[in-house]
Protein backbone atom coordinates (compact mmCIF):
# COMPACT_ATOMS: atom_id res chain seq x y z
CA UNK A 1 0.00 0.00 0.00
CA UNK A 2 1.23 3.51 -0.83
CA UNK A 3 2.23 5.80 2.09
CA UNK A 4 1.04 9.37 2.45
CA UNK A 5 4.43 10.75 1.49
CA UNK A 6 4.52 8.58 -1.66
CA UNK A 7 0.99 9.64 -2.57
CA UNK A 8 1.85 13.33 -2.20
CA UNK A 9 4.98 12.88 -4.25
CA UNK A 10 3.03 11.13 -7.01
CA UNK A 11 0.39 13.88 -6.97
CA UNK A 12 3.08 16.60 -7.13
CA UNK A 13 4.89 14.82 -9.98
CA UNK A 14 1.77 14.22 -12.05
CA UNK A 15 0.01 17.49 -11.34
CA UNK A 16 -3.06 15.89 -9.82
CA UNK A 17 -4.86 12.67 -9.22
CA UNK A 18 -4.33 10.08 -11.89
CA UNK A 19 -4.62 6.32 -11.90
CA UNK A 20 -5.56 5.63 -8.33
CA UNK A 21 -5.45 1.85 -8.45
CA UNK A 22 -2.63 -0.19 -6.93
CA UNK A 23 0.62 -0.14 -8.82
CA UNK A 24 1.46 -3.31 -10.64
CA UNK A 25 4.64 -5.21 -9.91
CA UNK A 26 5.98 -4.20 -13.35
CA UNK A 27 5.44 -0.50 -12.61
CA UNK A 28 7.29 -0.82 -9.30
CA UNK A 29 10.21 -2.55 -11.02
CA UNK A 30 10.37 0.20 -13.64
CA UNK A 31 10.35 2.88 -10.96
CA UNK A 32 13.05 1.11 -8.95
CA UNK A 33 15.30 0.55 -11.98
CA UNK A 34 15.00 4.16 -13.04
CA UNK A 35 16.24 5.27 -9.61
CA UNK A 36 13.30 7.53 -9.11
CA UNK A 37 12.11 5.82 -5.95
CA UNK A 38 14.37 7.94 -3.69
CA UNK A 39 13.69 11.18 -5.56
CA UNK A 40 9.91 11.25 -4.93
CA UNK A 41 10.49 10.73 -1.22
CA UNK A 42 12.86 13.69 -1.12
CA UNK A 43 10.35 15.71 -3.13
CA UNK A 44 7.59 14.68 -0.71
CA UNK A 45 9.56 15.95 2.29
CA UNK A 46 10.19 19.24 0.46
CA UNK A 47 6.49 19.43 -0.46
CA UNK A 48 5.49 18.98 3.21
CA UNK A 49 7.79 21.82 4.28
CA UNK A 50 6.53 24.05 1.48
CA UNK A 51 2.93 23.25 2.42
CA UNK A 52 3.55 24.18 6.07
CA UNK A 53 5.22 27.44 5.02
CA UNK A 54 2.26 28.25 2.77
CA UNK A 55 -0.26 27.59 5.53
CA UNK A 56 1.47 29.81 8.09
CA UNK A 57 0.36 33.03 6.42
CA UNK A 58 -2.98 31.79 5.08
CA UNK A 59 -6.26 32.01 6.98
CA UNK A 60 -7.95 28.64 6.78
CA UNK A 61 -11.70 28.75 6.35
CA UNK A 62 -13.40 28.18 9.72
CA UNK A 63 -10.20 28.57 11.76
CA UNK A 64 -8.26 31.47 13.23
CA UNK A 65 -5.07 32.10 15.18
CA UNK A 66 -5.34 33.17 18.80
CA UNK A 67 -3.03 35.75 20.40
CA UNK A 68 -0.81 32.96 21.77
CA UNK A 69 -0.45 31.43 18.27
CA UNK A 70 -2.84 28.51 18.60
CA UNK A 71 -5.12 27.60 15.70
CA UNK A 72 -8.70 27.28 16.88
CA UNK A 73 -12.20 27.27 15.47
CA UNK A 74 -13.68 30.52 14.27
CA UNK A 75 -16.29 30.47 17.04
CA UNK A 76 -13.76 30.51 19.87
CA UNK A 77 -14.15 33.87 21.65
CA UNK A 78 -11.01 35.42 23.13
CA UNK A 79 -11.81 38.21 25.60
CA UNK A 80 -9.69 41.36 25.74
CA UNK A 81 -8.94 43.12 29.05
CA UNK A 82 -11.81 45.60 28.66
CA UNK A 83 -14.35 42.78 28.19
CA UNK A 84 -12.90 40.85 31.14
CA UNK A 85 -13.25 43.94 33.35
CA UNK A 86 -16.84 44.46 32.19
CA UNK A 87 -17.85 40.85 32.89
CA UNK A 88 -16.01 40.63 36.22
CA UNK A 89 -15.35 37.44 38.13
CA UNK A 90 -17.41 34.64 36.59
CA UNK A 91 -15.96 31.71 38.50
CA UNK A 92 -18.64 29.50 40.08
CA UNK A 93 -19.33 30.29 43.74
CA UNK A 94 -20.66 27.89 46.37
CA UNK A 95 -24.02 28.89 47.87
CA UNK A 96 -23.87 29.06 51.64
CA UNK A 97 -26.97 27.90 53.58
CA UNK A 98 -27.23 31.28 55.37
CA UNK A 99 -27.35 33.14 52.01
CA UNK A 100 -29.98 30.76 50.63
CA UNK A 101 -32.24 31.34 53.65
CA UNK A 102 -31.90 35.13 53.27
CA UNK A 103 -33.27 35.06 49.71
CA UNK A 104 -36.59 36.91 49.22
CA UNK A 105 -39.72 34.76 49.47
CA UNK A 106 -41.56 36.25 46.51
CA UNK A 107 -41.38 38.71 43.68
CA UNK A 108 -41.84 42.46 44.21
CA UNK A 109 -45.33 42.44 42.70
CA UNK A 110 -46.58 39.72 45.04
CA UNK A 111 -46.04 36.75 42.72
CA UNK A 112 -44.39 33.47 43.57
CA UNK A 113 -40.72 33.09 44.45
CA UNK A 114 -40.06 31.34 41.13
CA UNK A 115 -41.57 34.27 39.22
CA UNK A 116 -38.97 36.95 39.96
CA UNK A 117 -39.32 38.39 36.44
CA UNK A 118 -42.99 39.18 37.05
CA UNK A 119 -44.32 37.25 34.08
CA UNK A 120 -47.92 35.99 33.95
CA UNK A 121 -49.13 33.99 36.93
CA UNK A 122 -52.71 33.15 37.93
CA UNK A 123 -54.04 31.82 41.25
CA UNK A 124 -57.54 30.35 41.51
CA UNK A 125 -59.51 31.98 44.34
CA UNK A 126 -63.02 30.74 43.46
CA UNK A 127 -63.58 28.78 46.67
CA UNK A 128 -62.46 31.65 48.89
CA UNK A 129 -64.55 34.21 46.95
CA UNK A 130 -67.69 32.01 47.10
CA UNK A 131 -67.42 31.72 50.89
CA UNK A 132 -66.72 35.43 51.25
CA UNK A 133 -69.73 36.40 49.07
CA UNK A 134 -72.06 34.26 51.18
CA UNK A 135 -70.59 35.72 54.38
CA UNK A 136 -71.00 39.28 53.18
CA UNK A 137 -74.47 39.04 51.59
CA UNK A 138 -76.51 36.73 53.86
CA UNK A 139 -77.99 38.78 56.68
CA UNK A 140 -77.70 42.16 54.95
CA UNK A 141 -80.64 44.41 55.71
CA UNK A 142 -81.52 47.41 53.54
CA UNK A 143 -83.93 50.13 54.69
CA UNK A 144 -86.44 51.46 52.21
CA UNK A 145 -86.72 55.23 51.68
CA UNK A 146 -88.92 57.36 53.91
CA UNK A 147 -89.18 54.61 56.53
CA UNK A 148 -91.41 52.44 54.33
CA UNK A 149 -89.86 49.24 55.58
CA UNK A 150 -86.81 46.96 55.14
CA UNK A 151 -85.54 44.11 52.99
CA UNK A 152 -83.31 41.37 54.46
CA UNK A 153 -81.27 38.72 52.49
CA UNK A 154 -81.91 35.21 53.89
CA UNK A 155 -79.98 32.96 51.50
CA UNK A 156 -77.57 32.88 48.58
CA UNK A 157 -78.58 30.28 45.95
CA UNK A 158 -77.30 28.97 42.61
CA UNK A 159 -73.82 30.52 42.97
CA UNK A 160 -71.70 29.88 39.85
CA UNK A 161 -68.58 31.58 38.48
CA UNK A 162 -64.92 31.93 39.18
CA UNK A 163 -62.32 34.28 40.69
CA UNK A 164 -58.59 34.65 40.06
CA UNK A 165 -55.74 36.83 41.21
CA UNK A 166 -53.33 37.37 38.33
CA UNK A 167 -49.87 38.87 38.35
CA UNK A 168 -48.71 40.25 35.05
CA UNK A 169 -45.65 42.49 34.64
CA UNK A 170 -45.44 42.78 38.43
CA UNK A 171 -49.00 44.16 38.66
CA UNK A 172 -51.77 42.36 40.55
CA UNK A 173 -55.21 42.16 38.97
CA UNK A 174 -58.37 40.73 40.52
CA UNK A 175 -60.65 38.95 38.06
CA UNK A 176 -64.06 37.56 38.93
CA UNK A 177 -67.31 36.55 37.28
CA UNK A 178 -70.15 35.30 39.48
CA UNK A 179 -73.84 34.71 38.97
CA UNK A 180 -76.20 34.00 41.88
CA UNK A 181 -79.74 34.36 43.19
CA UNK A 182 -80.52 36.11 46.47
CA UNK A 183 -83.49 35.00 48.54
CA UNK A 184 -84.86 37.94 50.48
CA UNK A 185 -87.83 38.97 52.57
CA UNK A 186 -89.17 42.41 53.11
CA UNK A 187 -91.73 44.21 55.14
CA UNK A 188 -93.56 47.34 54.02
CA UNK A 189 -95.24 49.70 56.47
CA UNK A 190 -98.53 51.30 55.58
CA UNK A 191 -98.40 55.00 55.14
CA UNK A 192 -101.41 56.64 56.21
pLDDT at residue 118 is higher than 90: no
pLDDT recorded at residue 1: 77
pLDDT recorded at residue 52: 55
Which CA distances in Å does 122 have to 111, 130, 171, 175? Answer: 9, 18, 12, 10
Over the stretch 20-78, which tens digit does the pLDDT of each residue have?
Answer: 455 555 666 666 666 554 455 555 555 555 555 555 555 567 788 887 888 888 788 88
pLDDT recorded at residue 37: 46
Over the stretch 143-190, which tens digit does the pLDDT of each residue have?
Answer: 988 888 899 999 999 999 999 999 888 888 999 999 999 999 988 887
pLDDT recorded at residue 75: 82
Number of Cβ within a 10 Å radius of residue 47: 17
> Which comes out higher in pLDDT, residue 90 or 126?
126
Banded pLDDT at 98 (limits 50, 70, 90): confident
Which residues lie below 8 Å from residue 27, measured CB to CB, with a gap of 6+? Answer: none
The answer to whether the beta carbons of residues 144 and 151 sit under 8 Å apart is yes
pLDDT recorded at residue 55: 52
pLDDT recorded at residue 9: 83
pTM for this one? 0.41
Amino acid sequence: MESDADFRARMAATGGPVATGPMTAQARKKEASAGTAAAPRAKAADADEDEEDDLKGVNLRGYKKTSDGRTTSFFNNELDEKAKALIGDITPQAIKPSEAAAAPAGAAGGGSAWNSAGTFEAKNKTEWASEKLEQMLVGVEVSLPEGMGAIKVHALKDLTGDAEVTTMRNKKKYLFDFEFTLEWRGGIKEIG
